[in-house]
Chain A
Amino acid sequence: MGTHNINFSEQFEFTGKAKTLSIVGIVLGVAAIAYGFLSGLHERTFANLLLMAYYFACVCMSGTFFLAIQYVAQAGWSASILRVPQAMAKTLPIASIILIVIISAGLYSHNLYHHWHADGITDIKSPNYDSIIANKSAFLNVPFFMGRMVLFLGLYSIFSMMFAKLSYNEDLAGGLNSHRRSFKIACVFLVIYGFTTPIFAFDAVMSLEAHWFSTMFGWYNFAAMWVSSLAIIAVMLILLRRAGYMKWVNDSHLHNLGQFIFGFSIFWTYVWFAQFLLIYYANIPEETVYFAKRFEYYKFWFFLNLLMNFLAPVLLLMDRDNKRGDSKLLIVCIIVLVGHWVDYYQMIMPGAVQAGENGFGVIEIGTAVGFVGLFTFTVLTALSKKSLIAKNHPLLQESLHHQL
């Protein structure tokens, strides 16, 4: 397709079926959460809320990460699709607030993180005393924990807003100033992000089982959030293109995203396996307790996780045509997205819910549907605010003529 018939002020209109469905999703989610609380399953409902809020925030902050690596690598191919991760980045403040509210509500009502947050747990005279937790309490105490959460999510949100703002300035003013500033900000952001995401994952998820620890856990979570974010970007591009928007997105852009998803699914497996193999091989009870729990109560999910996040993308995306064909890529992306829900499910549930109370039913599905609706609603609202192409991006022509 030639590039002369591109409408550089094309804007997404968020109406009709997409809007109705996302609101229906939110309503269903609220209903499921209400059902969870009313039926007395507080812990399980909170665990689900944490799961989906964490997923939501991780996907949005990986959108910012995507923007940052494109700027730092001076990548040209992605210049015309940057508005989609930008919309995700702009949603990050909302996602952050939701995550912080859920974490603090769960923390103070003792429904989440009760493993290290209980009365007298660090007091040697108390019957609740736990020496391991007491030794970790210099790091794992409520003020510092909440402070870190707010600091990390706040930093990521500020950077997200800066990227979005600079990109809109570029639309209005043109020139290279915004691009150069984005490059500098991206360098700073990547350093902060690289050092803080593991700690963020330790706090939000690993501290649910505070006796256990794994230094691979941060990277394992990073891989999960990054690959799920790439899958979301691909899904959004495919659906937008089907709805008649962004006609300049060609098979080569999808091919690049497909390669990314393929590669980072393998990276996710690599990190997952690095964590698993060391624990399995060393066979130290303090460490194997994590997998013992999962193998005893969550065996199905444990294997489903590997099937959906490793075997499915590797086998289905290996072929070049599957990365380029949008219906096949869409299917793989949805498998990966559901797969990472399963991944988070078996990360969070065994620690957050007592054995026997866990399950899969209305609460799980409802909360997931609710957050999918929320994500769709907020991200598409953000996307509809500005034009779908950053028309003054200096590398735009390279992206429009992208060919693999």
Chain B
Amino acid sequence: MSNIKYILGSFGDPDEMMHGIDKLQENNISIFDVYTPMPIHGIEAKLGIKRSRIDIAAFCFGITGTCAAFALIYFCAVIDWKVNIGGKPSFAFPDFIPIMFELTVLFCAFGMVLTYYASTHLFPGRAPRVMDLRATNDRFVIAIDAKENVAHLEIDSLLKGAGALEVKYNERKYISYE
């Protein structure tokens, strides 16, 4: 029992898993995380997960792109090398807008991809960290920290009572390094 780090309850049905979450919460057992192969409505509210801040990140990346594009064009076309295009003033703001718009989108898209990789620890060439491989396929998995919740037998019976098909005792956090 001493080496067990995580208890995983593996469910075949999302409703049973939601029921299992209710059962665990009623018994004051804290849930480490839940892994599901598909998004489930209302699960964030149930687990008390804070709202993602990726929209704020997106705004910051976007506005960086806008400023970068403006600075670049302004430096090139107004300060460094004035070019006469159709007799317009060198600081012709409407001409700047398409490029500013495009760089906003570009910075935003790249920034969001990098943010996503950083927050999920996914990078090209890196083995993904997965606690239960079948959670990426057909199982709905509740993970419970075994060190914080010592009543393992009770957890086992609660999970099985809620309809868990399998309860695993993992001695390491992620299994997918192997």
Contact = CB atoms under 8 A, between A and B. Distances in A.
B98 interface: yes
A27 B53 CA distance: 51
Nearest to A318: B59
A283 interface: yes
Nearest to A401: B41
Interface in B67-106: 86-88, 94-95, 97-98
B94 A276 contact: yes
Given A283-B86, A318-B59, A320-B55, A277 B41 contact: no
B152 to A, nearest CB: 35
Q: How large is the interface on B (under 10, 10 to 19, 20 to 34, 35 or more residues)?
A: 10 to 19
Interface in B23-46: 41-42
Contacts of A403: 41-42
A318 B42 CA distance: 23
A273 interface: yes
A273 B98 CA distance: 9
B94 A280 contact: yes
Q: How large is the interface on A (under 10, 10 to 19, 20 to 34, 35 or more residues)?
A: 10 to 19
B41 A281 contact: no
Given A283-B86, A403-B41, A403-B42, A277 B55 contact: no
A281 B97 CA distance: 12
Nearest to B98: A277
Given A318-B59, A320-B55, A403-B41, A281 B98 contact: no
Contacts of B41: 403
A403 B95 CA distance: 42
B86 A277 contact: no
Contacts of A280: 94
A281 B95 contact: yes
Contacts of B59: 318
Contacts of B88: 283
Contacts of A273: 94, 97
B86 A281 contact: yes
Interface in A361-404: 403
A280 B98 CA distance: 13
Contacts of B42: 403
A168 to B, nearest CB: 32
Interface in B48-65: 51, 55, 59
A280 B51 CA distance: 44
A273 to B, nearest CB: 7
A168 B41 CA distance: 32
Interface in A264-290: 273, 276-277, 280-281, 283
A273 B86 CA distance: 19
Contacts of B97: 273, 277
Contacts of B51: 320
A66 B94 CA distance: 33
9 contacts: A273-B97, A276-B94, A277-B95, A281-B86, A281-B94, A281-B95, A283-B88, A318-B59, A403-B42
Given A283-B88, A403-B42, 11 more contacts: A273-B94, A273-B97, A276-B94, A277-B94, A277-B97, A277-B98, A281-B86, A281-B94, A283-B86, A318-B59, A320-B51
Interface of A: 273, 276-277, 280-281, 283, 318-320, 403
Closest 5 CB pairs of A and B: A280-B94, A403-B41, A277-B94, A283-B86, A273-B97
